[in-house]
Every structure is written in C-alpha cells, then in structure tokens.
C-alpha cells in the first residue's frame, strides 16, 4: 500500500474545506439522494460524498457503509484529488500497488473504485463523489457521464449551503446592529428630553423675569429658542415611538368599542380650530391591539389637521370588518400630496417638503411608524391624494 501524498497547496485546500462548515455535520437528505441515485446508476453497492480533512476522510453522505469517516492515509480519495483526470478509476485494487494491502481492500473487499473530484469555485479539490464495488469492473460511458454530472450537483449544494450560511450570518449581524442602534436611539432620545424641557422652562423664566429689559429682537430670540426646543422634542418623541413600535405592536389585545377609541383620540388631539370630524355610523366591537391602533389613528388624524389649508377642516372616518380584517379609511379636505411624493411618504425621514398650517416642516417619522405598526399587525396601508383637494388613507389590521 502507498499512502496518498499531500497536494502542494494543502494548507489553502484545507482552509477551503473548513470554510464550508460541513465537517462533522449530520446526514442531509439532499446529499443522501445523490449517493443513492449514483449507486443505482453505476450499479454498485457503495456511494460516498467525501470531504478530505487533514488526517481523515469525512463522509458527508455514506450509502452502503455504516461509518462516516476513515483515516486519510488509507483513503482512495486521497489519491483521487491528486489526479486531474475527469474520473479517477481503479478497476481492481488488489493488483494496484497503491491499494493491494489497503485495509479497505482486505477487510471490506473494496475492489473497484471510481471517484470524481469535488472542485470548488476557487479550484480546490474538497473531496470526491465516489463509488465502490466488491468485484473488478468498469463503468460505461453513460455511467461516467452521470457520475461527473452528479459531482457537479454536489459542488452546487456545497456552494448553496455556504451562501446560505453567509446570508444568515449577515442577517444576524444586521439584526444585532439594528438592535444596538435602537437601544442607542432610545437612550439618547430619553436623555435629551430633560435638557430640552429645561430649555423651554428657562426661556419662559427669562421672558417673565427679564422680558422688560429685552428689545423686540431679544424677545424674538427667546421665542426662537423655545420653538426650536419644542420642534426637537417632537422629533425625539417621534423617534422614540418609531423605535419602540415593535414593543407597541407586541402588546396584548383588548376588547373595545370603535366609537370609544375614536372619541378618546379626538379628545387627546385637543382641537381648537374649526373642524368637522364624521365618525362611522356603526359602533363596532373590536378585539385587537388597542394601543397600536390608537397610535396609528392619532397620527393619521393629526396629519389631516396639520396639513390642511382650508378654513373649515373636514375629516371622514370609516370603519368596518371584512374577511378577518378591520378596515379603516381616514379622508380629509387638506392640502393633498403630489404624485411623485406618494410612493416615498412611508419611508423613514421622507417628507413632502410642505409646511403645515402652522408653518412647520414635518420630520418624516410619523407615517413610517404608522406603516411599521400596521405591518406588524398583519395589515396594509395605501394612500390616495389629489393636490389642493385632500388625502385618503386606507388601512387594514388583522382581526384576532
């Protein structure tokens, strides 16, 4: 017997083998199907998918033998990976100086061998797809072609597993980083709210105590500080709501009346302008995440109030249930949204560029949070709008 030599680039080859993370893994149906089919096509009792490690031959799939590894120094595959022919064939191992005293030949009666190298995309032979028989023989042309074709499919499976593993790793890494960003945003936002509140209070105190000592421009500066602090505070509140929307969407369901919910929202909005809000005629009992739904409707109705340039604001709210979903429609007679902005309005930080009725520019957080909550609740949202005439938001949430 002659032990197989090592390739000149053995270290790089081993690195390639280990990069697939297939050594010492459990059998898989995809590989077992290939060895079973290969054995039947070649009419042999044994078919293997092997990966040649530093000192062993690991059998990723072993059809016809009860073990899943053997020493590398007695392996046929150790010789096969060194041969650049399409198929490495040993018709009778008993007469071949490389194998005649091999334990596999003496103890297992491994007489015939045919193996195709499993070459990865970088050109390294990882192992083989091989067959054994207990008698001398040959393979016909179609069997050889099938063996080469099956080996190609094994490599495809290796590469697919590797890509999938990489994607899962990247996905988990992105998930971890996103969680870190969410935690960071939450901590920073919470920490900023108190200083902002202090700025607002301080500006009021300065105006009260020293206002008579300031000229018009000085008082305007104080107003500017206070207004900027309010704007930043609203921005931070929006960020907190956005990053905490996962928690909001996971809250327990409640049973409540639709009219009670909508009336609570109108009360929260503390409307002090000429506004007509028409509620659904039918009062419907609902069972869903009340907190999340309240945040959604509060945001949409709040936008209908803010982005409205009419002397009298009109908002129509409709609610119904159909096919396991609660359906909502919120329509207004406001400014409307340009067609080229509609497809982007649910993106985080995306704005239409328009100022609201109070001269403020939106921060592009609210509608993104709305979309995120609705998606988490198993629903969808769409918008219909015409500049100068108004906007209608229609959304659904899954009924529980």
User: Domain for residue 229, yes or no?
Assistant: no
User: Domain for residue 56, yes or no?
Assistant: yes
In tens digits, what is the pLDDT along the chain, a chain of 400 residues?
A: 899 999 999 999 999 999 999 999 999 999 999 999 999 999 999 999 999 999 999 999 999 999 999 999 999 999 999 999 999 999 999 999 999 889 999 888 999 999 999 999 999 999 999 999 999 999 999 999 999 999 999 999 999 999 999 888 888 887 877 776 666 666 666 666 677 777 778 888 888 888 888 888 888 888 878 777 776 777 667 666 666 677 777 778 889 999 999 999 998 888 888 999 999 988 999 999 998 899 999 989 999 998 999 999 999 999 999 988 999 999 999 999 988 888 888 888 778 778 888 777 777 788 988 999 999 999 999 999 999 899 999 999 998 7
CB burial string 254-263: b at 16+ within 10 A, e below = eebebeebbe
CA nearest to 392, candidates 344, 322, 328: 328
Contact 325, 398 (CB under 8 A): yes
CA nearest to 190, candidates 243, 137, 226, 154: 243
Q: How many CB atoms are closer than 10 A to CB 115? A: 26
Contact 220, 246 (CB under 8 A): no
Which of 162, 181, 200 terminates a domain? The answer is: 162
Q: Are residues 268 and 150 in the same domain?
A: no
Q: What are the C-alpha distances in Å from 305 to residues 190, 236, 311? A: 27, 21, 11
CA nearest to 62, candidates 107, 31, 17: 31
CA nearest to 45, candidates 158, 132, 145, 149: 132
Alpha-carbon 386 to chain mean position: 35
Q: Are residues 270 and 383 in the same domain?
A: yes
User: Domain for residue 70, yes or no?
Assistant: yes
Q: Are residues 156 and 15 in the same domain?
A: yes
User: Domain for residue 145, yes or no?
Assistant: yes
Q: Are residues 277 and 388 in the same domain?
A: yes
- CATH code assigned at 35: 3.30.450.40
Which pTM value belongs to this model? 0.54
User: Domain for residue 176, yes or no?
Assistant: no
CA pair distance 307, 390, nearest whole angstrom? 9
Q: Which residue in the block uniquely carries the two structure tokens 């104080």?
A: 222
User: Domain for residue 325, yes or no?
Assistant: yes
The number of distinct structural domains making up the chain is: 2
CA pair distance 249, 375, nearest whole angstrom? 9
Q: Are residues 151 and 259 in the same domain?
A: no
Domain that holds residue 78: 10-162
- CATH code assigned at 301: 3.30.565.10
Three-state DSSP state, 70: strand
User: Domain for residue 204, yes or no?
Assistant: no
CA pair distance 225, 77, nearest whole angstrom? 77
Which of 111, 128, 162 terminates a domain? The answer is: 162
User: Domain for residue 34, yes or no?
Assistant: yes
Q: Are residues 262 and 390 in the same domain?
A: yes
Which of 162, 194, 229 terminates a domain? The answer is: 162
Collect all residues with Cβ–Cβ distance below 8 Å to 267 and sequence separation of at least 6.
Answer: none
CA pair distance 279, 318, nearest whole angstrom? 7
Query: Strand runs (DSSP E) across 97-193, as ranges?
Result: 112-119, 125-133
């Amino acid at each position: 017997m002659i032990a197989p030599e090592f390739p000149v680039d053995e270290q790089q080859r081993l690195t390639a083998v280990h990069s697939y993370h297939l050594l010492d893994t459990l059998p898989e149906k995809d590989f077992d199907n290939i060895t079973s089919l290969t054995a039947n096509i070649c009419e042999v009792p044994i078919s293997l998918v092997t990966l040649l490690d530093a000192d062993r031959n690991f059998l990723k799939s072993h059809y016809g033998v009860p073990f899943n590894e053997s020493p590398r120094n007695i392996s046929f595959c150790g010789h096969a990976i060194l041969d650049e022919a399409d198929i490495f064939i040993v018709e009778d191992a008993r007469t071949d100086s490389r194998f005649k005293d091999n334990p596999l030949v003496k103890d297992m009666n491994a007489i015939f061998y045919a193996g195709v190298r499993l070459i990865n995309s970088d050109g390294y032979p990882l192992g083989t797809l091989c067959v054994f028989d207990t008698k001398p023989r040959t393979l016909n042309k179609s069997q050889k072609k099938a063996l080469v074709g099956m080996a190609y499919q094994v490599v495809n499976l290796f590469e697919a597993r590797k890509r999938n593993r990489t994607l899962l790793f990247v996905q988990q890494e992105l998930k971890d980083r996103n969680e870190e960003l969410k935690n960071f945003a939450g901590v920073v936002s919470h920490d900023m709210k108190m200083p902002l509140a202090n700025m607002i209070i301080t500006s009021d105190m300065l105006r009260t105590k020293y206002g008579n000592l300031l000229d018009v421009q000085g008082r305007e500066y104080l107003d500017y500080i206070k207004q900027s602090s309010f704007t930043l505070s609203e921005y931070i509140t929006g960020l907190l709501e956005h990053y905490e929307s996962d928690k909001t969407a996971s809250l327990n369901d409640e049973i409540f009346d639709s009219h009670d919910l909508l009336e609570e929202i109108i009360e929260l909005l503390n409307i002090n302008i000429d506004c007509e809000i028409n509620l659904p005629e039918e009062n419907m009992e609902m069972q869903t995440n009340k907190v999340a739904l309240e945040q959604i409707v509060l945001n949409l109705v709040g936008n209908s109030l803010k982005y409205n340039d009419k002397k009298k604001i009109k908002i129509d709210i409709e609610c119904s249930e159909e096919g396991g979903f609660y359906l909502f429609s919120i329509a207004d007679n406001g400014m409307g949204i340009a067609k080229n902005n509609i497809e982007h309005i649910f993106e985080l930080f995306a704005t239409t560029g328009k100022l609201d009725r109070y001269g403020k520019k939106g921060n592009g957080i609210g509608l993104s949070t709305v979309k995120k909550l609705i998606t988490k609740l198993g629903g969808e949202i769409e918008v219909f709008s015409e500049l100068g005439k108004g906007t209608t938001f229609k959304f659904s949430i899954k009924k529980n």
